Chains A and B, each alone.
Chain A
Amino acid sequence: MANGIRIENLVKTYGEGDTAVHALRGVDMHVAPGEVVGLIGPSGSGKSTLLKCLGAVIEPTSGRMTIGDQTIYDNAWKIPDLRALRRDRIGFIFQSPYLIPFLDVTDNVALLPMLAGVTNVEARARAVELLTALDVAHRAKAMPSQLSGGEQQRVAIARALVSRPPVILADEPTAPLDGERALAVVKILNDMAARYQTAIIIVTHDEKIIPTFKRLYHIRDGRTHEEGGGTETTS
């Protein structure tokens, strides 16, 4: 899994002819394992479309996507079971944690490996390990409604990591948090990326966390512009 995620010339067009909307006009992007990059852009710039394409939720019009050594899209899906792809190879963190309200913290995290066929004991052990790493193990038996916003987001991070996916897509994960907690979440994501060699893409509007990214992609009118290490490239 040496390559993280790589996107080449990704295009997404909604509709046809005169009514066609070109949401993505040839996006290139690469995130290495263990790396956390930011993706920023104004409303309507194509952030969500890109995230949905990366998450195998909608099908791009053309282009190529690779996770690790495996091409998952090359002008058509190359993976027959997209649901299994999302379950096993892509982690999601949302703006709101969207924890399952009727499962306790441990089972919220353990659910994903359970769905993949891992035994309950093994899945819960993995969950506890992550909860410990994220410093919420003491809330393992609590219900989501009993957690603070920061705790909920950390549980959501644990849920995204529990299947050890090579890629995590985070959709404005710090939006509901104050500055200190937002920075803490980004630090956690950086630590987890390094620890599990996960490529993490964070879509954000949050000015507080933007300076923390070593690399940053701007998206505007369906095209990305990369910043980082003092360089800027345009695709």
Chain B
Amino acid sequence: MISLAGRDILHSWGKFVFTGIGLGLLIGVTLTMAGVYRGMVDDAQAMLDNSGADLWVVQRNTLGPYAEPSSINDDVDRSIRAMPGVARAANVTYLTMQIDHAGRDVRVMMVGIEAASPGEPGQPPHLIAGRQIVRAHYEAVADMKTGFDLGDVVHVRRNRYVIVGLTSRMVSSGGDPMLFIPLKDAQQAQFLKDSDAIVRQRARTAQNPALNPPGNPGMIDAVTASQTSNPYVNVVLVQIKEGFSPDQVAEPIRRWQRLTVYTRAEMEEILVDKLIATSARQISMFLVILSIVSAAIVAFIIYTLTMGKIREIAVLKLIGTRNRTISLMILQQALGLGLIGFVVGKIAATFWAPIFPKYVLLLSGDSLRGFVAVMVICAIASLLAIRAALRIDPAEAIGG
């Protein structure tokens, strides 16, 4: 038996191809939306992977350092290092900010890391150019997505940093590229004020008799020093020794240090299920709407094509064609349209995904699920046309 649907598609291929291209672009957008979500999850996982940490020690009862602010003293890492099962512990700060560079704004997540010893948690695990930070101040390693080059000088607050290394796939859960700078610089940058603000604060402090008692002239200097320094970090990243489980190491830190400790699984849950959950729901809504729009388009097109063949269908029915054969023809055309649309959509999404500012991850599994969804949507969308075709009276082929 010949394929009536296949012959019809071949006969009016232009109509099908151009309709398929239109539908394909819509499917491409849908696949890209799914890719944006996957990219967000992957960014979050990459951030956790690249931190090199097994445990995240943060301010008690917070979801820090990524989902909520967290502030702990920068000497806590020393006592954590002494805890059983801890191989390494390093202070890290995170601060998202806008940097003006070469006339353009670059949004980065600035990461303060301990530069002294290589391989500390928090440092970028791999470089694609240059070297790691070795000096205590004014050097930086940037993710490729910042657009910075080796040797570039970037301004952060009042300081200038030389880009000494470039890394990749080091982004925040929001997709902002990371800029690594020495910890002390980062701590200072978090609270560093401009000169006028410092002068005004000093004046206010000096006028406060509680902070500047007449009988104790040295106290004002101590208070001013404490106001302009920042002994806090956002998190202590911990690597555990072999033979210890994360929970085994985390529990004593929680108990003795009175801090909150997250394992890798817990931190992933915070990032994926909490931090980007709203975005995921937003994207899901788009996917649902796009699916409905796609279904409506396919239904309209197939219905219009079918109604354009009323006489032919009436003749087919009159000469004895089974309803099943006619239904199958319409269904196959809808599926054919879906197939063309999916191929176009997949190709389009593959080509335009790298242009997106955020990471778009197109997974084969998602494509497969997308393909099945497109086929199911097309099959459902063809029902209207099938119903209309089955209602065509074969008598319409006979005049009068």
**Are A and B co-members of a single complex?**
yes
B273-320 residues at the A interface, CB under 8 angstroms: 311-312, 315-320
Are the C-beta atoms of B316 and A100 separated by less than 8 Å? yes
Q: How far in angstroms is the closest Cβ of chain A from B326?
A: 11
Of the candidates B4, B8, B12, B395, which one forms a contact with A52 in the assembled complex, judged by CB atoms under 8 Å apart? Answer: B395
B60 to chain A, nearest CB (A): 73
Given contacts A88-B320, A100-B315, A102-B10, contact A115 B325 (CB under 8 A): yes
Q: How far is the CB of B305 from chain A (nearest CB, A)?
A: 11
> How many whole Å from A85's CB to the nearest CB in chain B?
8
Q: What is the predominant secondary structure among interface residues of chain B facing chain A?
A: helix
Question: How far apart are the CA atoms of A112 and B317 in the complex, in Å?
Answer: 11
Q: Judging by beta carbons under 8 Å apart, are B2 and A120 in contact?
A: yes
In angstroms, how far is the closest chain B Cβ from the Cβ of A125? 15
Closest to A169 in B: B398
Please determine whether B395 and A102 come into contact, CB atoms closer than 8 angstroms.
no
Q: How far is the CA of A116 from the CA of B394 in the complex (A)?
A: 18
Residues of B within 8 A of A83 (CB): 317, 320-322
Tier of interface size on chain B: 20 to 34
The reply to whether A115 and B398 contact each other, CB–CB distance below 8 Å, is no
Minimum Cβ distance to chain A for residue B45 (Å): 51
A92 at the interface (CB under 8 A from B): yes
Assess the A48–B318 pair: CB atoms within 8 A.
no
Known: A98-B315, A101-B11, A103-B7. Contact between A51 and B398, CB under 8 A? yes
Does A37 belong to the interface (CB within 8 Å)? no
Does A95 touch B at the CB level, under 8 Å? yes
Q: Is the CB of A102 within 8 A of B2?
A: no
* Neighbouring A residues of B10 by C-beta, 8 Å: 102
Known contacts: A84-B320, A102-B11, A115-B325. The answer to whether A94 contacts B315 by CB under 8 A is yes
Contacting residue for B318 out of A55, A84, A95, A115, CB 8 A = A55
User: Is residue B1 contacting chain A, with contact meaning CB distance below 8 A?
Assistant: yes
Q: Which residue of B lies closest to A110 (CB)?
A: B2
- Per the bound structure, the CA–CA distance linking A44 and B16 in Å amounts to 42
- Say if the beta carbon of A25 comes within 8 Å of chain B: no
Say yes or no: A87 contacts B320, CB within 8 Å: yes
Interface residues of B in 310-358 (CB under 8 A from A): 311-312, 315-322, 325
- B312 contact set on A, CB distance < 8 A: 98, 100-101
Find the A residue at minimum CB distance from B6.
A102
Q: Is B375 located at the chain interface by the 8 A CB criterion?
A: no
Interface residues of B (CB under 8 A from A): 1-2, 4, 7-8, 10-12, 311-312, 315-322, 325, 393-395, 397-400
Q: Apart from A47-B400, A48-B400, A120-B2, list 15 A-B contacts with CB within 8 A.
A: A48-B398, A52-B398, A57-B394, A57-B398, A83-B317, A86-B319, A86-B394, A92-B397, A101-B312, A102-B7, A103-B2, A111-B2, A115-B1, A115-B321, A115-B322
Interchain Cβ contacts under 8 Å between A and B, 27 examples: A47-B400, A48-B400, A49-B400, A51-B400, A58-B395, A83-B317, A83-B321, A83-B322, A86-B319, A87-B320, A87-B321, A92-B318, A92-B319, A94-B315, A94-B397, A98-B312, A98-B397, A100-B316, A101-B11, A101-B312, A102-B4, A112-B320, A114-B1, A115-B321, A116-B320, A171-B398, A171-B400
